[in-house]
Amino acid sequence: MKGLIGIFAVVVTLSESLGCRSGWLNHGTSCYHLSHDQEAWINAEALCERFGGYLAEINDVIEDKFLQGWVNNINKQYWIGGTDLENEGEWLWVHSRTMLSSSYTNWLTGEPNSSGGSDENCIDMRPHMAGWNDEKCWITLNYIC
């Protein structure tokens, strides 16, 4: 009986390590969670960490198009992991601490622009716009881990 329990534990552990958790999307080597609830950016970041992840960091056009397709399909705005909260105008991915200027970006035309004031310090993806926008971090949006 102990042997069967041990085998079951190994099978469950292997199956979880080969794919994503229930309710998460697999793309390449990553798993994504598109939230059903809305949170301010800082709360979304904390929730992603509680789930064992982090707000999405988009590193290439393939990943961007994959996530944009889901954002378009669900038709809601989503927080991703970029911010300039630490230094105005210096955008970085909060988890990896990578500056956006040294990595892939997909800003909407004219963004980031702080059009709502200098407190537009967090990045969101918008449906059917195929790009990123700077937004006030306290606004509640869905989020992608």
Q: Which residue has the tokens 């990896």?
A: 96
In this predicted model, what pLDDT tens digit does every residue of 46-88 receive, in sequence order? 999 999 999 999 999 999 999 999 999 999 999 999 999 999 9
CATH number of 35-143: 3.10.100.10
Where along the chain do its domains lie?
Answer: 35-143
The per-residue DSSP string of the chain comes to -HHHHHHHHHHHHHHHHHSPPTTPEEETTEEE-B-SS-B-HHHHHHHHHHTT--S----SHHHHHHHHHHHHHHT--EEEEEE-SSSTT--EETTT--BGGGS---BPTT-S--TT-TTEEEEEE-TTT-SEEEEETTS-BEEB-
CA distances from 28 to 49, 66, 67, 98 (A): 21, 10, 12, 20
| Mean pLDDT, all residues of the chain | 87
pLDDT of residue 66: 97
The pTM of the full predicted model, rounded to 2 decimals, is 0.84
Q: How far apart are CA 102 and CA 87, in angstroms?
A: 16
